[in-house]
Amino acid sequence: MTRHASKATLKTLAQELELSITTVSRALKDGPEVRPETIARVKQAAARLGYAPDRSAVNLRTGRTGTIAVLFFVPHAYDDVGDGSITAIIEGVCRRLDGLDYTPVVQLLTLEVDGLARVRRIVEGKLADGIILSGTTPQDERVRWMLERRFPFVTFGRTELFTPHPWYDVDNELAAHQATAHALAGGRRRIALLNPPEALTFARQRLAGYQRALAEVGIAYDPALVVHGGLGAGESRAATRALCATDEPPTAIVCATGVVAIGACAGLRDLGLEPGRDVLVVSRDGTRMASYLEPPLPTCFASLSDTGWHLADFLLRALDGAPPEDLQMLVETTLVPGDRR
């Protein structure tokens, strides 16, 4: 038997082991028709000789690209405080795809970007086998377009379209209700809500949870206490200062993300107010970031790393033909009290 200095192929592996190319190929795929000792022998040789499958040949044969497109919505300026939630989600995606023949390619989008054009470019250009998408709207045109073409995808967030599609979501209505109810239980009566842009599905869900918590204790909804907009720290800092400059400032602020909470705390300190003491700040969190602030903030927690894992898992299952009704999951948040001052 000979050693091969050039790149190992199925043919050179077969020659090295004195097996057929078909047997080597099936052994590398753990084919049930191949004896376990042969599988082990083939894999040992493949590792020793540095064999790796020719991706271009595999893609040509299967019609797949080996790429997953991850299109994530970033509703704030790129030069503001970084959002660790996106990193956590991507980590979860990569963890699920680890060891598989798929490579995630991440693109960050703002409201100013034409999301449908970006999706069409990927699908029509055959640049990816499937898409993970965030920043959904109730009648999301990107989702509708992919449904019409039966292109595999999964969304982080829900829509209100009649046709079922794969999605994974955190219960944002519950999170906002938990946060508002927590503030009310602490004696806070004038509660502000810093919310995402109104066009987004999860903004409407959060507003519904906030309003429901107020209604349960007989407090009338005051739209002057709700700010819809970008979720950057700078924007929430300015919004907090504006809210606290009114004749009836809030005694608590419910924030959509940890970055928003950082901005709210900064806005309060700009005015000489102490978060947690003068104004309670309650955040949605998925990375434990709020626990490192001073004081630690009460949060409504659901792991965003787990979110990324499930998004990738749902997409893999969609690629294998699983029905969309089996690829839908709503996860509840857990209230973490933080500092009760």
**Identity at 195, one-letter amino acid code:** N
Q: Give which of 35, 43, 53 is closest to 17, Cα–Cα.
A: 43
pLDDT tens sequence across 171-222? 999 999 999 999 999 999 999 999 999 999 999 999 999 999 999 999 999 9
In this structure, the number of other CB atoms found within 10 A of the CB of residue 126 comes to 12
DSSP assignment of 189-245:
-SEEEEE--TTSHHHHHHHHHHHHHHHHTTPPP-GGGEEES---HHHHHHHHHHHHT
pLDDT at 27: 84
pLDDT over 90 at 61, yes or no: no
**In the prediction, which pLDDT does 57 show?**
56
Instruction: Please say if the pLDDT value at position 64 is more than 90.
Output: no
Q: Which residues contact 145 (CB under 8 A, 6 or more apart)?
A: 116, 119, 120
Q: What's the chain's average pLDDT?
A: 88
The per-residue pLDDT for 99 is: 83
User: Is the confidence at residue 149, as pLDDT, over 60?
Assistant: yes
- Specify whether the CB–CB gap between 82 and 287 falls below 8 A: no
* CA-angle at 167, arms to 327 and 98, nearest 5°: 75
Percent of residues, the chain, with pLDDT higher than 90: 63
Whether residue 136 has pLDDT greater than 90: yes
The arithmetic mean of pLDDT across residues 88-99, rounded, is 93
Window from 51-65, 150-164, 245-259 with minimum mean pLDDT? 51-65
Q: What is the pLDDT of residue 9?
A: 81
50 pLDDT above the threshold of 70: yes
